[in-house]
Structure 1
Amino acid sequence: MNLRVRVVHCGDQRWYADIDDADDPQPDDPFWYVDHCRSQPQALESACAELRLLAGRMVRGDEINRVLEVTGVPV
């Protein structure tokens, strides 16, 4: 699996970040996301920390799920 971090500026005062499969043509169901970050560095740091956790789970052979699979709520 080829995961990627995406950071997006949403409006004047918030940043959004998610982690998704780079080969997924639709970015509507990520493996993880965070919204309402106050800065781009904060969003990027949060996403990178989560990416390290996801990578560790994948190395152990754990299944990782998309947000929609876990919550049932679309992002």
Structure 2
Amino acid sequence: MNLKVRVVHCGNRRWYADIDDADDPQPDDPFWYVDNCRTQTQALQTACAELRLMSGRLVRGDHLDRVLDITGVPV
């Protein structure tokens, strides 16, 4: 699996980050996301920390669930 981190500026004081499959054309169904980060750096650091955890889970052979699968609500 090829995962990617995406960081987006949402308004004056808000940053969003998510982790998704690089081959997935739908950006509304990530494996993980964080919203309301105060800075781009905070969003990127938070996402990279989560990416390290997710990578470890994949190495162990764990299945990653998408946010939509868990919550039923697209991001």
TM-score interval, smaller chain: over 0.9
Match of 2:6, as an amino acid? R
Partner of 2:38: 38
Partner of 1:8: 8
Match of 2:27, as an amino acid? P
Partner of 1:61: 61
Equivalent-residue separation in structure 1 for 2:26 and 2:58 (angstroms): 22
Report percent identity of matched pairs: 79
Equivalent-residue separation in structure 2 for 1:68 and 1:28 (angstroms): 8
Q: How many angstroms does 1:18 deviate by? A: 0.2
**Gaps in structure 1 of 5+ consecutive residues:** none
**Gaps in structure 2 of 5+ consecutive residues:** none
Match of 2:4, as an amino acid? R
Consecutive aligned runs of 4 or more in structure 1 exceeding 2 Å deviation: none
Match of 1:40, as an amino acid? Q
Equivalent-residue separation in structure 2 for 1:45 and 1:70 (angstroms): 24
SS of the equivalent of 2:17 reads strand
Name the Cα RMSD after superposition. Answer: 0.5
